[in-house]
Amino acid sequence: MIRVLLADDQALVRDGFRALIDRDPEMEVVAEASDGVEAVSLARSEHPDVVLMDIRMPRVDGLTATKQVLALADPPRVLVLTTFDRNDWVFEALKAGASGFLLKDVRGKQLTDAIRTVAEGDALLAPSITRRLIEEFVAHTPSVPLRASQLLTERELEVLRLLAGGLSNAEIAERLVVELSTVKTHVNRLLSKLDLRDRTQAVVYAYESGLVVRGAGL
């Protein structure tokens, strides 16, 4: 059973998400928070697997709450909820370690699929908007030394570039003409070598380091 914490200051939004999640027999909403302070407290006490975190909340905003939740011992995965009126907050949440984000008008199956994806340890990178957000904000930050070229093999670098382009493991396997299990091994190794938590942080790293150039094709 996947345990979910809902964090949003609008009761109607929480009710809507709860109704969608309750339809899935493999998930349950274990708690609801109306602000960032409650979100952190409930994440600590209820031990959810996934937190749906709104950005705009009173007392403590979702970005700060995300950082605090992810600093907990054995932290849950965090999916950021957004309407895209503050894209900089979304990007900062990704940098803080959030596993991805969802639009607030997400449909039922998209919501449960996203929760299941991050609960299994993956990151929600499929929507093209994720790449656009990362490109937009990394373009305005200075590059960091490209450690990847020293730590990764040529094939791992290639996988990282494709991953940063938003390709799934299956798409990368098809592009490189290798088995899916081989791609998963490469992804796990590059994450370990670069000390990155998940695919989202790998994408951010790829852009910040200059390994992938904003607007470049794959």
Residue ranges, comma separated, of all CATH 3.40.50.2300 domains in the chain are 2-124
**CB-based contact 74:49 (threshold 8 Å):** no
Q: Which pLDDT band, with edges at 50, 70 and 90, does 68 fall under?
A: very high
For the chain, first and last CA: distance in Å?
Answer: 38
**Arithmetic mean of pLDDT over the chain:** 82
Identity of the amino acid at 64: T
- pLDDT over 70 at 125, yes or no: no
Mean pLDDT of 81-103: 71
pTM here is 0.67
Has residue 216 got a pLDDT over 50? no
What is the average pLDDT across 25-39? Answer: 95
What whole-number percentage of the chain has pLDDT above 70? 80
Per the model's pLDDT, the better-predicted residue between 182 and 131 turns out to be: 182
pLDDT of residue 206: 81
87, 106, 89: which is closest to 36 by C-alpha?
89
From-to residues of CATH 1.10.10.10 in the chain: 137-208
pLDDT of 138 over the 90 cut: no
> Which residues, in sequence order, are bridge partners of residue 3?
28
Is residue 1 over pLDDT 90? Answer: yes
Per-residue confidence band for 2, with pLDDT thresholds at 50, 70 and 90: very high
Radius of gyration of the chain (CA): 17
Given a cut of 50, whether residue 217 has pLDDT beyond it is no
pLDDT digits (tens, 9 = 90+) for 3-21: 999 999 999 989 999 999 9
Q: Which CATH class is domain 2-124?
A: alpha beta
CATH of domain 137-208: 1.10.10.10
Give the integer Cα–Cα distance in Å for 133 and 46: 32
Q: Percentage helix, strand, coil, to 5, in the chain?
A: 50, 15, 35
Tokens 């909403």, residue?
Answer: 29
What pairing do the DSSP bridges indicate for beta strands 2-7 and 100-103? Answer: unpaired
Does the structure show a pLDDT above 80 at 160?
yes
